[in-house]
Amino acid sequence: MNVLVTGGCGFIGSNLVKYLRKHRPDWKVVNLDKLTYAGNLENLAELEGDPQHVFVRGDIGSQDLIEHLLVQHSIDAVMHLAAESHVDRSILGPEVFVTTNVLGTQRLLEACRSRGIQRFLMVSTDEVYGSLGPTGAFTEQSPLQPSSPYSSSKTSSDLISLAYHHTFGMDVVVTRCSNNYGRYQFPEKLIPLMVVNALHDKPLPVYGDGGNVRDWLHVEDHCSALLRALEKGKAGEVYNIGGGAERKNIDIVKAVLGLVGKPESLIKFVKDRPGHDRRYAIDPSKIKAELGWTPSQTFEQGLAETVKWYVDHPAWWERVMSGTYRQYFETQYRAR
């Protein structure tokens, strides 16, 4: 089996590429990534020299390139993760979110359609459902009510993928996952940002009153769900993915401070994010019942392991913060 993974140098993508190499060692993984600020080839340094991992720098919007790769590598299936992924950046500059997430996804789908690719896994998000009140959880039937430019662009890419199934008969499966955490997450997202700031004794910016709730899942559990959906998901179906770990942001920030041994006086309540969704919670019964998936990590275990990883790997995030991680591609990869 030959799989094209898009966005394989980002946080979830790089964890997924390694997960696939470990759990499906006979598969070839072709990793297409544009290497935007969020793409870091160093995340995959341990795969250097692995003939079953092929990295290609390119844009999902380059239909000719994609068509060429699909033929060149006899691709059987696509796992589509490449995206602009950060809500705050989508508020500062929405355009690239539409270009990549909406138009880029449509071009990728079109390339797949023209080259007869069947299975296409669209990695979507729980943010397509918008915000919940204090009770209840999103099911696959919940209305789509995205709030931010990021989530509305993801909703568009989710729906255009389903349209390629309904209209052209492509074998599309969509997954909608809750907030991920784990190794190699860019330190603009809540958990790694708080760890890095705490280690530097810098203020920890908590938006609003800190009472917003997210439902957290360890990235490796997301990867196992994606593989399950790729192999067993039914065409045209949507699967929610979540670990049942709802936490208030303020409680996470306090837990991080406890794990790194820093005082709560570092917490700084700041102006709220515009349009900030109050609460997300995922009902994952469908993927559990129909595909037999279950998460393996508890949030407390996973958070402790994740915080320890950032504490033990300052070189990784220091290179990200200083921008020197971008040189890796030039020196280690392009030079060959």
- Active-site positions read 126-127, 150
CA-closest candidate to residue 102, choices 146, 69, 141? 146
Closest CB 263 distance from ligand NAD, rounded Å:
28
User: Does position 295 bind ligand NAD by CB under 6 A?
Assistant: no
Position of tokens 């935007």? 36
- With CB under 6 A as the contact rule, which of the stretches 77-85, 159-167, 226-234, 289-297 interacts with ligand NAD? 77-85
- Confirm if 8 and 33 have CB atoms less than 8 A apart: yes
- Confirm if 260 and 311 have CB atoms less than 8 A apart: yes
Judged by beta carbon distances under 5 to 8 A according to partner kind, the member of ligand NAD, ligand TDX, none in contact with residue 149 is: none
Judged by beta carbon distances under 5 to 8 A according to partner kind, the member of ligand NAD, ligand TDX, none in contact with residue 39 is: ligand NAD
- With CB under 6 A as the contact rule, which of the stretches 59-67, 68-76, 138-146, 315-323 interacts with ligand NAD? 59-67
- With CB under 6 A as the contact rule, which of the stretches 75-83, 135-143, 245-253, 288-296 interacts with ligand NAD? 75-83
CA dist 176 and 131 (Å) reads 14
**What DSSP string describes 89-153?**
HHHH--HHHIIIIIIIHHHHHHHHHHTT--EEEEEEEGGGG----SS--B-TTS-----SHHHHH
Judged by beta carbon distances under 5 to 8 A according to partner kind, the member of ligand NAD, ligand TDX, none in contact with residue 249 is: ligand TDX
User: Does position 59 bind ligand NAD by CB under 6 A?
Assistant: yes
- Count of residues in contact with ligand NAD, rule CB under 6 A: 30
Query: 30, 111, 123, 191: which one contacts ligand NAD (CB under 6 A)?
Result: 123
Cross-strand partners of 217 = 180
Can you read off the two tokens belonging to residue 40?
């870091």
Closest CB 79 distance from ligand TDX, rounded Å:
16
User: Does position 82 bind ligand NAD by CB under 6 A?
Assistant: yes
Kindly tell me the burial class for residue 67, based on how many C-beta atoms sit within 10 Å of its own C-beta (0-12, 13-18, 19 or more): middle
DSSP letter at 200 equals T
Q: Would you report the helix, strand and coil content of the chain in percent, each value rounded to 5?
A: 50, 20, 35
- Confirm if 244 and 285 have CB atoms less than 8 A apart: no
DSSP letter at 78 equals E
Judged by beta carbon distances under 5 to 8 A according to partner kind, the member of ligand NAD, ligand TDX, none in contact with residue 195 is: none
DSSP letter at 43 equals G
Closest CB 283 distance from ligand NAD, rounded Å:
15
User: Does position 60 bind ligand NAD by CB under 6 A?
Assistant: yes
- With CB under 6 A as the contact rule, which of the stretches 18-26, 130-138, 175-183, 284-292 interacts with ligand NAD? 175-183
Residues near ligand TDX (CB under 6 A): 85-87, 125, 127, 179, 189-190, 193, 205-207, 212, 214, 249, 273
Kindly list the residues in this chain that would bind ligand NAD in the complex (CB under 6 A).
Answer: 6-7, 9-13, 33-36, 38-39, 59-61, 81-85, 100, 104, 123, 125, 154, 177, 179-180, 186
